Chains A and B, each alone.
Chain A
């Protein structure tokens, strides 16, 4: 007998996983998703024989995803296979020059030796330091629920506090260790995913270099959406009711308890809500005003990560100059960053990313064609 009717708002990866997890624990779960398909920013679409992951197209730290499957009593490999890409990605520089970043460590060391004197020695030291940060972060911080600052204080973290490099930036740390502009660009790149410039991100986050260069970039065969489809299959197997194409509009409150959710002029009765939409949207649009923690002016002072413009393009032939993942670093990173972060505006000459999953996965485009995401 399933108890406690819980509604999960948002069918992205976190909402889907939460629904699976709750249902597995015996909770009666309804999941509501505003789009017609599940996946949130990781949803996909197909047309004319081309299929596209609309957001992420790879992931790092596959052991964490495998653990999530294990916690549901499932095996990830029963749903999709993971492929490590070789090369991990291609970086384009000015004048059409490019560098392939190998997934193999000895090839990577050779590359750094080509980029600068003693490059491999410097890289090994850099990655060893990054590994310390990675291990502290994953063992001591990442698994905590984030309910209190006290979670951050523990003996090992304190003992290694200086090694965490929270007071210097990624950019200054990399610049101090490497002279080559290309080596610097390669090592500054991963933290751009955090939505800020490397000059403003603590060097603690060079742990991402360890993840990128040492642990590898992984692609689920069939596309990132394979992960979404796997979670949807598990959710349905566990009895989660999934409603798509309907938006939650407001919470119905009974005193201080939630009693339902207004969904397109109907009330969906519920005893609990797990909101997996964006925090700002849920807090400012669904929660009744008197229960909101923050005001609009508070939100207007927050600095949020930037959004982006994405093109999905199908072409009628193969593009031999592209790899599966491609970074266009053919313009100036500092100028790009200043226009986005310091004086927010559309950058004149942005750095950009191109994914062509059809380079390694023939299921994502018709034969002889290429699907481009940029």
Chain B
């Protein structure tokens, strides 16, 4: 597999995982969507390899239009 396969449609991947993680975390006690104060993420620019971390601009605030972020 080429080690530099660009990830397409990163936003939908991020949103889908964010929602899934929160769903699974919500097995704990609270409705997380009501208590979120702050969110950022670190998204690899390439798929499934560790050379992705070279980008300087990778810390991104999550898009506020996601349902879970409408606090």
Cβ 8 A contact of A306, one of B38, B42, B50: B50
Cβ 8 A contact of B3, one of A35, A48, A280, A315: A280
With a CB–CB cut-off of 8 A, which chain A residues contact B13?
Answer: 309, 346
**Cα separation A373 to B31 with both chains bound (whole Å):** 17
B33, chain A: closest CB distance, angstroms: 10
Judging by beta carbons under 8 Å apart, are A50 and B42 in contact? no
A314 interface residue, CB < 8 Å from B? yes
Q: A319-B28, A374-B25 are in contact. Are A314 and B39 (CB under 8 A)?
A: yes
**Cα separation A345 to B5 with both chains bound (whole Å):** 11
Cβ 8 A contact of B27, one of A54, A96, A352: A96
| Interface size range on B against A | 35 or more
A305 interface residue, CB < 8 Å from B? yes
With a CB–CB cut-off of 8 A, which chain B residues contact A299?
Answer: 3
With a CB–CB cut-off of 8 A, which chain B residues contact A277?
Answer: 54
How would residues 305 to 320 of chain A score, 1 for a CB under 8 Å from any chain B CB and 0 otherwise?
A: 1111111111111011
With a CB–CB cut-off of 8 A, which chain A residues contact B37?
Answer: 48, 50, 314-316, 369
A116 interface residue, CB < 8 Å from B? no
Judging by beta carbons under 8 Å apart, are A307 and B59 in contact? no
Judging by beta carbons under 8 Å apart, are A307 and B53 in contact? yes
B18, chain A: closest CB distance, angstroms: 6
Judging by beta carbons under 8 Å apart, are B59 and A41 in contact? no
Interface residues of A in 313-335 (CB under 8 A from B): 313-317, 319-322, 328, 330
What is the total number of residues of chain A having a CB less than 8 Å from a CB of chain B?
Answer: 51
**Cα separation A313 to B52 with both chains bound (whole Å):** 22
**Cα separation A369 to B35 with both chains bound (whole Å):** 9
A314, chain B: closest CB distance, angstroms: 3
B9, chain A: closest CB distance, angstroms: 11
**Cα separation A223 to B46 with both chains bound (whole Å):** 28
With a CB–CB cut-off of 8 A, which chain B residues contact A302?
Answer: 3
A89 interface residue, CB < 8 Å from B? no
A60 interface residue, CB < 8 Å from B? no
Judging by beta carbons under 8 Å apart, are B42 and A310 in contact? yes
Judging by beta carbons under 8 Å apart, are A304 and B27 in contact? no
Cβ 8 A contact of A311, one of B21, B24, B44, B52: B21
A63 interface residue, CB < 8 Å from B? no
**Minimum CB distance partner of B32 in chain A:** A315
**Minimum CB distance partner of B68 in chain A:** A313
Q: A306-B49, A315-B32, A319-B29 are in contact. Are A300 and B2 (CB under 8 A)?
A: yes
A336 interface residue, CB < 8 Å from B? no
Cβ 8 A contact of A307, one of B14, B41, B52, B56: B52
Judging by beta carbons under 8 Å apart, are B50 and A313 in contact? no
**Cα separation A50 to B37 with both chains bound (whole Å):** 10
Interface centre among A34, A304, A322, A354 (most CB of B within 10 A): A304
With a CB–CB cut-off of 8 A, which chain A residues contact B41?
Answer: 309-312
B38, chain A: closest CB distance, angstroms: 3
B28, chain A: closest CB distance, angstroms: 3
B40 interface residue, CB < 8 Å from A? yes
Instruction: Give me the interface of B with A, judged by CB distance under 8 Å.
Output: 1-3, 13-14, 17-18, 20-21, 24-25, 27-30, 32, 35-44, 46-54, 56, 59, 62
- New A-B pairs, 15, CB < 8 Å, besides A309-B41, A310-B42, A311-B40: A50-B38, A195-B50, A305-B50, A306-B48, A307-B48, A308-B44, A309-B42, A310-B41, A311-B39, A311-B62, A312-B39, A313-B39, A315-B37, A344-B1, A345-B47
A-B CB contact pairs (8 Å), 9 listed: A34-B56, A278-B51, A300-B2, A307-B44, A307-B47, A307-B53, A309-B13, A311-B17, A312-B40
